[in-house]
Amino acid sequence: MITIENLCKSFGKTKAVNDVTLSVREGEVFGLIGTNGAGKSTLLRLLTGILLPDSGRILIDEEPVYDRPEVKEKIFFISDDAYFFPNSTPGTMRDYYSSIYPLFDRNRFDTLLKGFGLDENRKISGFSKGMKKQLMVLLAVSSGAKYLFCDETFDGLDPVMRQGVKSLFSKDMSDRGLVPLIASHNLRELEDICDHVGLLHQGGVLLSEDLSEMKLNLQKVQVVFKDEETREHALLGLDVLLSEQRGRLWTFTVRGGREETEAHFRGAEPVFFEVLKLSLEEIFISETEVIGYDVKSFILD
């Protein structure tokens, strides 16, 4: 488990991480959302022990991470701009990482390398951005590290490779208890893989919620009413977060369970209504507008 308590980090007058408190549980994929400059990369570097926090603390399996090599062996960090040695090949990087990760599985790495169509002896400098991302993922899952921190890992991967990487993460979570923390500016990239999502803005946490609970407790309803009086009556007692009208069709985002929401609208006897599945983006728009933020202005598609 990862525990982050009141974490702060500044660079000069810029507060990159501002009083962040989060926890990442085992058995789940944690998605960290935020635009460039929100503090995601700085937070990941603090978690890996690259940076020392100004205040607050980080515990990984109840142990501090900074200046603790035995704890860092549990961590693999895939940065947005991965570094490779000059003139190195995948084989070179395999040899390097196997020297610092005691559980590195060389056979698995070689098998995955062939499966992903990457040449062990080709210089990495000639790889595309997507190929470099693939290589880092293969090194990460072969390292045996328990915690995998990913900074924009899916950026540059084609749809097939994205699914391949997500499948690798899923397999390692099942087989050996891998705990991925994935930072991205793209909500849609994380929707089908994350169990819990935290939203960073200007270095602080706006929202940290379990996705399954959020989806169970928010409903999107499209409805056509007989008349204005019926609409006013139907909304009595509902916790409406968002509403939109297009012609006679109203769309509401309401807080509550699906069955009780359906029963409520059915009782109003509208001309038509249906309860739809909310996307992760719609969930975040709803939740953040309630607390006074327009998430559309700082979360990119």
Sequence spans of domains, the chain: 2-202, 213-297
Tens-digit pLDDT profile for residues 249-277: 999 999 888 889 999 998 888 999 999 98
How would residue 290 be classed by pLDDT, with cut points 50, 70 and 90? Answer: low
pTM: 0.81
> What is residue 87's predicted lDDT score, i.e. its pLDDT?
93
> What is residue 187's predicted lDDT score, i.e. its pLDDT?
76
- Burial of 150 (C-beta count, 10 Å sphere; 0-12/13-18/19+): buried
Which CATH code fits 2-202? 3.40.50.300
Strands 75-78 and 218-224: unpaired
- Token pair 């009083």 is at which residue? 19
Asked if the model's pLDDT at residue 299 lies above 90, the reply is no
> What is residue 286's predicted lDDT score, i.e. its pLDDT?
74
CB 39 within 8 Å of CB 200? yes
Across 66-162, where does the E strand assignment appear? 75-78, 147-151
> What is residue 278's predicted lDDT score, i.e. its pLDDT?
83
How far is CA 216 from each of CA 80, 212, 251, 284, rounded to the nearest angstrom? 33, 6, 18, 14
Question: What number of other Cβ atoms are within 10 A of residue 17's Cβ?
Answer: 27
> What is residue 192's predicted lDDT score, i.e. its pLDDT?
78
Say which CATH superfamily domain 213-297 falls into: ACT-like. Chain A, domain 2 (3.30.70.1150)
The DSSP secondary structure of 120-146, one letter per residue, reads TTS-GGGS-HHHHHHHHHHHHHHHT-S
Q: Examine domains 2-202 and 213-297 and report if their fold is the same.
A: no
Asked if the model's pLDDT at residue 73 lies above 90, the reply is yes
How would residue 293 be classed by pLDDT, with cut points 50, 70 and 90? Answer: low
How would residue 294 be classed by pLDDT, with cut points 50, 70 and 90? Answer: low
Tens-digit pLDDT profile for residues 132-175: 999 999 999 999 999 999 998 887 788 888 888 889 999 999 99
CB 42 within 8 Å of CB 54? no
- Give just the sign of the alpha carbon dihedral 29, 32, 36, 39: negative
- Distance (Å, whole) CA 97 – CA 72: 13
Asked if the model's pLDDT at residue 184 lies above 90, the reply is no
